[in-house]
Amino acid sequence: MSETATSEGLRQILYRIDGRGYKAYKDIAGTYRFADFTLTVDSVQGDPFAAPSRLRALIPRGVAALPERLYATRSRALGLSCFLARAFAAETSKRSTRRGSGKSGEIRIEAPGQQVLANTAVQVHDDGAVEARFTVGLPSQGRRVLGRQASELLLEALPRIVEDSLFAGSHADDELWLHAAANEDADALRSMLAERGLIAFIADGSILPRSSGVDDRPLGGEAVVAFKSPESLRVEFSLPHAGRVTGMGVAAGVTLIVGGGYHGKSTLLRAIERGVYNHRPGDGRELVVSTADLVKIRAEDGRAVSGVDISAFIGDLPLGKSTRSFSSDNASGSTSQAAAIVEAMESGAGGLLIDEDTAATNFLIRDARMQALVPKESEPITPFIDRVNQLYWEYEISTVLVVGGSGDYLDVADTVIAMETFRPHDVSARAGAVAAAHPTGRVNEVGTPFDVRIQRRPRPGSVDPRKGRRESSIRTRGIQTIQFGRETLDLFAVEQIVHWAQTRAIGAALDYASRRYIDGQRSLSEILDLVMVDIETEGLDVLERRRSGEFALFRRHELAAAFNRLRSLRT
């Protein structure tokens, strides 16, 4: 196929192969000039029930006609590209219809959800050109080509989708600017947190509750309570576009979120957890922003652990088993949570987010009565309550902890926020008074310094994507599962993965790291650095030879979490 082929040439091919066997679709691979854009067919599916064909549309700057101010900075360009991807997805739902067997007639793009994520689905290039990557189920009847229906799909429906979603003229100027400016404001706000001694900010007026546990859109209705900061915790920022904004600052150190059941404790923590990402306009959390290095930690019974030094939390186990390099194929709640904290330290976390509901109770606390009943010499666990301040004082790692039943934590908290009917109250002073009036009688069980080894070197061959004759076999199932070679990688406990395109990219990154950087000499931290620098400089396309539209950017912490949950990993 000549690179100068036209859309009419594509039509002629489709008419010629009409009624032939499905593999005749291979003839359309190549690049075609349309009136307003260039279409490239990168990969053609071999079967109507196989993964759909991969296509790209490139709209030049003069046709897309996006005002330069919309992509003048990376922040603006990213906000804009996510908006355009959602617009493309909305148009495909209108114009993409079943045309035959299997996935025939389906046009699909991996648009971001509520979060603004750098992605490969739609990219606004530095020169203002727009590139969209999507998949198409080429029409067939059984395994026979429906060439005329394919012509309607690719030469009539697709150009309308492109024009109505990716051209500036199809959108109001203020709508385009809203998405670009909102993303730049969120990035600017995040960059100012550290200098104010904060790890998170929740703007007044934010809507934190979500529609449901499986629907991340904002909850609607008159009963929704907008966030309002307590006066003592209110801070103010001046943003490039939104101007003056006020809200609650979450200070570095140890913060407790307390309150009765169903009053919004976990909802607030969840908002802080998701604040490591920016959010689309209309989400309600546009100005809920956290530092990028906060990591959610939970217990995870049954997970694999490889060579992690958990000795600061778990002393030598019965029968003399050392925990300086702890490995297990079936970790308990307490050992898995201890490992997760040390692994987060290894990946460079600056803060931990913990919800009492998903933590191991015996890891969080040993109260005075249990200390009296089971003496320390019989208990290998040093509870988190006795290490949480050390983490901040010695490693500058903050903690935000939701507690409903562990009142002993009042003794170690710097700030205590009480949630009442989704409204926060600063009860730090009252919490201190309660702690003084009702001493727990428990004894701090720290007997050793907080000294852990956090540099592990993955062994070559222990991160292996091979399966059968395939050098690399990586598949994803939703957000939580990667089939990596012969191994099923379960990421259900990695709660800061928010889109399956991130999971897809993480799988590719594991493969990339194994090919490029795992040599038995580099530490896991060094490997994470190298992979993330490559993505920063070359884009997500560096992870895979083919041009995929199914990648979204992840953080180093989620990539580390995937490494650490590989049962094959040896360090």
At 442-478, the pLDDT tens digits run: 999 997 778 888 889 999 999 999 888 888 889 999 9
Q: Are 502 and 494 in contact (CB under 8 A)?
A: no
pLDDT at 1: 46
Q: pLDDT tens digits, residue range 304-339?
A: 999 999 999 998 887 677 899 999 999 999 999 999
Partnered with residue 251 across adjacent β-strands are 198
pLDDT at 332: 95
Residue 174 has pLDDT above 60, yes or no: yes
User: Could you tell me which residue, 99 or 368, shows the higher pLDDT?
Assistant: 368
Domain coordinates in residue numbering, the chain:
7-171, 294-437, 474-565
Instruction: Give the pairing type, strands 234-239 and 122-124.
Output: unpaired
Q: pLDDT tens digits, residue range 340-352?
A: 999 999 999 999 9
Sign of the CA dihedral with 494 first, then 498, 504, and 506 last: negative
pLDDT at 99: 64
Reduce the secondary structure of 85-148 to three states and give it as a string.
Answer: HHHHHHHHHHHCCCCECCCCCCEECCCCCCEECCECCEEECCCCCEEEEEEECCCEECCEECHH
| Residue-wise DSSP of 219-258 | P-STTPPPP---GGGEEEEEETTTEEEEEEEEESSEEEEE
Q: Dump strand ranges (E) for 360-405.
A: 398-402
Q: pLDDT tens digits, residue range 428-445?
A: 999 999 999 999 999 999
Nearest CA-CA partner of 565 in 472, 462, 466, 475: 462
Q: Are 332 and 340 in contact (CB under 8 A)?
A: no
* Residue 3 pLDDT grade (very low, low, confident, very high; cuts 50, 70, 90): low
* Average confidence (pLDDT) over 291-315: 96
Nearest-angstrom CA–CA distance, 511 and 484? 9
pLDDT at 291: 98
Q: Dump strand ranges (E) for 312-463.
A: 326-328, 351-355, 398-402, 415-420, 423-426
Q: pLDDT tens digits, residue range 483-493?
A: 999 999 999 99
pLDDT at 2: 47
Q: Are 498 and 547 in contact (CB under 8 A)?
A: no
pLDDT at 384: 97
Residue 17 has pLDDT above 70, yes or no: yes
User: Could you tell me which residue, 184 or 548, shows the higher pLDDT?
Assistant: 184
Q: Are 119 and 112 in contact (CB under 8 A)?
A: yes
* Average confidence (pLDDT) over 175-196: 98
pLDDT at 101: 65
* Average confidence (pLDDT) over 491-520: 97
Q: Token pair for residue 13?
A: 């091919």
Q: pLDDT tens digits, residue range 82-129?
A: 999 999 999 998 877 766 666 778 999 999 999 999 999 999 999 999
Q: How many CA atoms lie within 13 A of 323 on its CB side?
A: 21
Neighbour count for residue 439 (Cβ, 10 Å):
9
Which strand (E) or helix (H) includes residue 201? strand 198-203
Share of residues in the chain with pLDDT > 90 (%): 86
Q: Token pair for residue 480?
A: 């939580």
Alpha helix segments (H runs only) across 445-499: none
